[in-house]
Structure 1
Amino acid sequence: MSGYVKSPERGDARGDAYEEERKIEEEDEEYKICREIIDQSTEANKEYREAYELYLSKVVDYEAIKWGTFSGSVNISKWDKSGFRPLEVIITLEYKTGDATNIPYADHPVDKEFSNALRKYGWRVEGRGTMIYGYRCWRCGKLIPEDKLQYDQNGRRKCPECGATSTRSRQIRLVKGSKWLYAYKKVRLSGSEGREQLREIMIQNVRQPLCEFAGK
């Protein structure tokens, strides 16, 4: 009577198939876990960002800051191993100095005031674009809008207020500043802060320099 003999090749194939299925299952499980962590982290980031931006809108709502318009955001740049608690965030403030038609809100560039106030508290500041404010008369100090500037018979700039003309040593100069001012600050956290603590940390980091900028 002939018995059934298991083929080594068939056994190896079954073993390989089983091992492959096991690996796929493990990878699928790992993927699910990673996906859950990523999804929860994304949701936490979204909630944290929304909470921050809500508070930011309250912090910068000063009547004294009427030279421009603020917007802000926060990016969580480093999480703890669990992926649920932020260890490092980068706050970004954007300050627009004029309207959509490039008319400045202020009568002078505020680059220096903005930079001084924020750099004092550890922010990195940069300007982008160009905002034209007009021309400053060397004699009366008035700022002359570009469309109001006059010229004498020699083509030299002339102040419509006091009649002063621009010379080599005393010029009626173009006044310009940045169209957008950006400030960035990296804030390190311990990872043990609760939501209210995180909010307060963000508020304090933004409030201090902006109060100074607003003259409060």
Structure 2
Amino acid sequence: MSSRERILGRVRRALAAVPQDDMPFEQAFSRDYLREHGERSVEQTVDLLAENLADYRAIVHRCTAADLAATIAGMLAARGSKTVVVPTGLDPGWLAEAEAEQVPDRAESTPHELDRVDSVVTACAVAIAETGTIVLDGGPDQGRRRITLVPDHHICVVRVPDQVVSSVPQALERLDPARPLTWISGPSATSDIELDRVEGVHGPRTLEVVLVDGQASTEVTS
């Protein structure tokens, strides 16, 4: 008998005399919490996302689909990026105008190799307006989790309005809990006991989010 079987056997014996609940667990508690706070139009929801992203010290860009390649190229050039990690399923047109060397997302890439890369460009699974959160699920256009945690500069593209929801409950409905979910609210940061903020501790020091929609190109910074 394994240790696991012994432990589970003890648990079953301890629970043998415990009476069954009259009501199943999933019905025992009310789940009638708000799906979103207030009523907003699609435009207002996207504006709230941009505002909260900037409040978390992300740099927010808004552009049209036709301007996306030029926008990303300009961001990489402004950063001085010579190399950029690219997920296997990323639309090649997004980097069509970028001069940086493209480094493919490979299983054999080591953290040390990724640390030498200047930037990474990904898509996302969903973006949450009320919390200013971007969620990645490891899809083909997002790549492995580590490529968005090791490089110091992350450019994330959000398709507006299709990938924008108001609240966390709405986002959870779109996500598969079996996938490797990464929830990002601004660049990586932490604070010590004196509240001194340090960025880039366990993720990118700089997060730039591109909201791709039909509006004229603008930029919002915190």
Query: Under a length normalisation based on structure 2, what TM-score does the superposition of the two structures give?
Result: 0.22
Q: Which has the higher helix share?
A: 1
Greater RCO, 1 or 2 (C-alpha within 8 Å, sep 6+): 2
Query: Under a length normalisation based on structure 1, what TM-score does the superposition of the two structures give?
Result: 0.23
